[in-house]
Structure 1
Amino acid sequence: MKKLLFLLLLVASCGVKKQNNNPVFSGWYADPEGIVFDDQYWIFPTYSAPYDEQVFLDAFSSPDLVNWTKHERIIDTAEVKWAKRAMWAPSIIEKDDKYYLFFGANDIQSDEELGGIGVAVSDTPGGPYKDLLGKPLIDKFHNRAQPIDQFVFHDQDGQYYLIYGGWKHCNIAKLNDDFTGFVPYEDGTIFKEITPKGYVEGPFMFIRDGKYYFMWSEGGWTGPDYSVAYAIADSPMGPFKRIDKILQQDPEIATGAGHHSVIKVPNEDTYYIVYHRRPLTETDGNSRETCIDIMEFDENGHILPVKITNEGVEAHDLGE
């Protein structure tokens, strides 16, 4: 007995036990947008369920990427009168001490249906959020892009863009100062298509070393081939030439790894990829969990293939 106790203590002291931080929180959640506000990490995901049950959004906050607090029903269809179902893929930005949450709703299939991309506002990241317009911000198909999967991008010159699109088409549009509409480009158009080869949905953009990294999801969201690829350009307008796939399934870990976002730690060259995937034990398309793994670059600035793990990432306290 003494020998067994000694061995157990030895194992514990040597740190042999591995961390198991993926998924980062319990429940079926997908399409996660990760972001930093003040000294907190935040994740805004889709509640992954049948479309008619997707009538609200939750959010999660953490001081260290490991310990998460759930903020329930930060917005729902009771507040957004025009939204009936399929509230998903939230994107959030802070501007002038207000928090603007962009979301898709109703999964419209034509210009004749009510729905599309909406925007809500709150004084705090955890809500509650109020519908800003009382109607969708985008409710039509422009350049054949379904109005879903919105991402708000803040450029270095101060301009805010909305990048969005499903059905294998992606648009970029210049938001006006109060996010109630758009500013036309010099040629008078509002929606510019920037679709790269292989694009399906789930756009995301960030800047590193003066270069614009554009990322997106490929494959079918219910299948094992769901994945993430990327391109690099000198402008948010592109042109974006596909470089490679960097996130995909690992048949020993999980399938359907996609629809991601990226968290950059302030004042560090440290990047995390936040994404959803499907456990090997699950076959239901909505059985998706949110995970975080490290994302790294080579000496040329290319993104290295991400290794999806069950361990996830170690605690990284923003307050340090």
Structure 2
Amino acid sequence: MKIIQYFLWLGLSFSAQAQKSGNPILPGWYADPEAIIFDQTYWIYPTYSAPYEKQVYFDAFSSQDLITWKKHERILDTSAVKWAKRAMWAPSIIRKDGKYYFFFGANDIQNDNEIGGIGVAVADKPEGPYKDHLGKPLVDRFHHGAQPIDQFVFQDGKDFYLVFGGWKHCVMAKLNDDFTGFTTEFKEITPENYVEGPMFFKKDGKYYFMWSEGGWTGPNYAVAYAISDNPWGPFERKGVILKQDPEIATGAGHHSVLNVGEDWYIIYHRRPLGETDRNARVTCIDKMEFDEDGNILPVKMTFEGVNKKGGQN
């Protein structure tokens, strides 16, 4: 009887384990994950984590349950973006009027005289194929000291904003209707200790501005956040909510957020213990929770990941 009970328990344990995503959730080296839900399907659009000269394409991943992910290869590459040569980074995607708009950084420009910056591509399906929307960068220069990388598109009602910035500066502008330009000037919204990787979400009428701080190649990369009543700020810094865990991983940062019903998830990259290559980054998911005042609680990195979940709009 005890043997039978043991095997029954073992079977239940395997079953329970199978309902967890595990971390990392994607095979291979991927960073800067953008997560979003389209038509009850989860999507992740990451950076291919490799030397700059090999970062010439983007893959995407889709899932019905946060557990099993399907790879969609080369949804966009430099053959479709003639001005992009390398360092294709940190995609951000949004749907508008039945089209999917894919914002990305390319070429890692160091000054306004170099060709590159932030581009936008468009497709009829979330898995592409995507084509260059403009034939040139949407943002091709620095604004208020912000390097044109790490773009995030934030929708607030009928309005769409582009937030971006490296080199410890962050700016935001309102996009026009066809995403060919802007209807406002770029405003600097840099919070305390900001480095890169901005993202926004709205909850209970409050605007949450999140970013990465520290150095992406080192162990102390981390995610912090601030809150405001207005998307333009001012933002009150609240503190760090995701950082390295010497028992799990280092270099945790450059994330996105998913809201599924009452549940919230943070999708981010981290560097496995023992990895010294700066591009050895993997995409992970963990629960993100709030206290009764709306503050984000510190996120505990795990190897288990999250429970199986059905997609929602």
Per the TM alignment, residue 242 of structure 1 is displaced from its structure 2 partner at its CA by 1.2
Residue in structure 2 matched with residue 305 of structure 1 by the alignment: 298
Residue in structure 1 matching 2:268, options 272, 275, 295 = 275
Per the TM alignment, residue 92 of structure 1 is displaced from its structure 2 partner at its CA by 0.1
Residue in structure 1 matching 2:279, options 278, 286, 293 = 286
TM-score, normalised with respect to structure 1: 0.94
Q: Distance in 1 between matches of 2:251 and 2:93?
A: 24
Letter in 2 for 1:11: L
SS of equivalent to 1:206: strand
Residue in structure 1 matched with residue 206 of structure 2 by the alignment: 211
Is the 1:273–1:295 contact (alpha carbons within 8 Å) kept by the matching residues of 2?
Answer: yes
Residue in structure 1 matched with residue 121 of structure 2 by the alignment: 120
Report whether the alignment pairs 1:163 with 2:163. Answer: yes
Post-superposition Cα deviations, 1:71-118, rounded to whole Å, max 9, x if no partner, equal 000000011000000001000000000000000000000011000000
Residue in structure 2 matching 1:226, options 221, 224, 231 = 221
Q: Distance in 1 between matches of 2:116 and 2:270?
A: 27
Q: Distance in 2 between matches of 1:183 and 1:311?
A: 44
Give the 3 Å change call, closer, same or farther, for CA 5–271 of structure 1 in structure 2: same
Aligned alpha-carbon RMSD (Å):
1.6
SS of equivalent to 1:13: helix
SS of equivalent to 2:237: coil
Residue in structure 2 matched with residue 60 of structure 1 by the alignment: 61
Letter in 2 for 1:169: H
Post-superposition Cα deviations, 1:167-207, rounded to whole Å, max 9, x if no partner, equal 000000010000000112xxxxx100000001000000000
Give the 3 Å change call, closer, same or farther, for CA 13–285 of structure 1 in structure 2: same
Residue in structure 2 matching 1:247, options 201, 220, 242 = 242
Which segments of 5 or more consecutive residues in structure 1 lack a partner in the other structure? 185-189
Q: Distance in 1 between matches of 2:256 and 2:112?
A: 29
Q: Distance in 1 between matches of 2:273 and 2:21?
A: 16
Post-superposition Cα deviations, 1:129-171, rounded to whole Å, max 9, x if no partner, equal 0000000000101100000000000013x11000000000000
Is the 2:21–2:67 contact (alpha carbons within 8 Å) kept by the matching residues of 1?
Answer: no
Is the 1:197–1:241 contact (alpha carbons within 8 Å) kept by the matching residues of 2?
Answer: no
Residue in structure 2 matching 1:201, options 196, 199, 203 = 196
Is the 2:37–2:312 contact (alpha carbons within 8 Å) kept by the matching residues of 1?
Answer: no
Is the 2:264–2:287 contact (alpha carbons within 8 Å) kept by the matching residues of 1?
Answer: yes
Per the TM alignment, residue 6 of structure 1 is displaced from its structure 2 partner at its CA by 5.7
TM-score, normalised with respect to structure 2: 0.96
Per the TM alignment, residue 318 of structure 1 is displaced from its structure 2 partner at its CA by 2.0
Report whether the alignment pairs 1:40 with 2:35. Answer: no
SS of equivalent to 1:114: coil
SS of equivalent to 1:12: helix
Residue correspondence of structure 1 range 67-106 to structure 2 within 5 A: 67-106=68-107
Residue in structure 1 matched with residue 111 of structure 2 by the alignment: 110
SS of equivalent to 2:236: coil
In percent, how many aligned pairs have the same letter? Answer: 67
Per the TM alignment, residue 56 of structure 1 is displaced from its structure 2 partner at its CA by 0.1
Post-superposition Cα deviations, 1:38-64, rounded to whole Å, max 9, x if no partner, equal 110000000000000000000000001
Range with bigger deviation, 60-69 or 2-11:
2-11
Letter in 1 for 2:302: T
Letter in 2 for 1:162: L
Post-superposition Cα deviations, 1:190-242, rounded to whole Å, max 9, x if no partner, equal 10000000100000000000000000000000111000000000011011121
